[in-house]
Structure 1
Amino acid sequence: MKGVHLPIATLAIFALATFLVSASDPSPLQDFCVAINNAQFSQFPGVFVNGKFCKDPKLATANDFFFSGLQIPKSTANAVGSTVTAANVEQIAGLNTLGISLARIDYAPNGGLNPPHTHPRASEVLLVLEGTLYVGFVTSNPDNKLISKVLNKGDVFVFPVGLIHFQLNIGPVNAVAIAALSSQNPGVSP
């Protein structure tokens, strides 16, 4: 009877190990898939990845992987006192399938707010370039706890995927931060 249980236990361990190994995202089938918005321009109209048609890789150029604009401060003269400048797959076609994106956030002095929101498809790492920000997120059930911190220039804070988070400029000068996100299109829900 002991001999019967050993193969079953071995099989169960093997099945569990196989599941754990295959539980991560698969590797891309190609180096990149530069997104194009219209199938008529695709050399391979059947290649459709992450909701985008792929440009023939032989036709890719440096501009497909380039964006200029995060160095430009944006106006914060609006109701919340902040502006987000995205650098995702909509601005950089070469980000398609790479699973990353960036954003610059400009905050007005004394209360510029990136209001509470979530990114349903991405975790976020925030790097403060200038100013002082009060940042935080709310954990999910069971306790809905606020985890928050005051950040200064050079400080980094992480917001887990899907959790409500915010940033507030508590300083007397403009603040600027760069957000790195773990999705080509993280989405945002107010």
Structure 2
Amino acid sequence: MFLNTLCLGLKKVRVIIVKKRMSGSGVAPENARARHIPECVKDIIRKHIKMFPAYVSHYSRAHTQNVYQNPDLSIAKMFRLYQDYCKEQSVLPRNEALYRKSFVEEFNLSFKKPKNDTCGKCDRYELVLKFSKDVEKENKIHLELAKLSYEEKRKDKLLIKANCNCITMSFDLQKCLSTPLLMSGAAFYE
């Protein structure tokens, strides 16, 4: 009769009793699902996600805004590293669901290996430019040379279409070597 009067199920009453006993006081704790997550907690999660190097595909940069993480990573691995990071910082780590939500909703990241490799110089300039503007001129020159080479390639393609007796060849000699597989958490932050 009591359960029907309050429109409660037996399971709900049991959960409330268990939570009341666990709290030590005579009152069950507030529902944690509706609680606001402080911005400082979200900032720690954002900071941790930003610690992982992200790469833009060099050759398809004009066609997409996708940014890639190391394909050996996953959100679950990053969360385990986040827990270690929180221990080092003496901060209470939050749950994986909050970490995952922040990763998915706030960052345009993918773990899929990009179909096109990245240019080592562009990657280096991008990292250095985050901390200093010393290489800004060199970066612009490098990008201009890349643009000129693409223009020459486009002209060669047009030449072949216009003249069947012509042969052109194009080679990509800037193959990037992939980083060895590193499972150490500290290696991801270096």
Q: Give TM-score, length-normalised by structure 2.
A: 0.21
Higher percent of residues as helix: 2
Higher fraction of strand:
1
Question: Bigger radius of gyration, 1 or 2?
Answer: 2
TM-score, length basis structure 1: 0.21
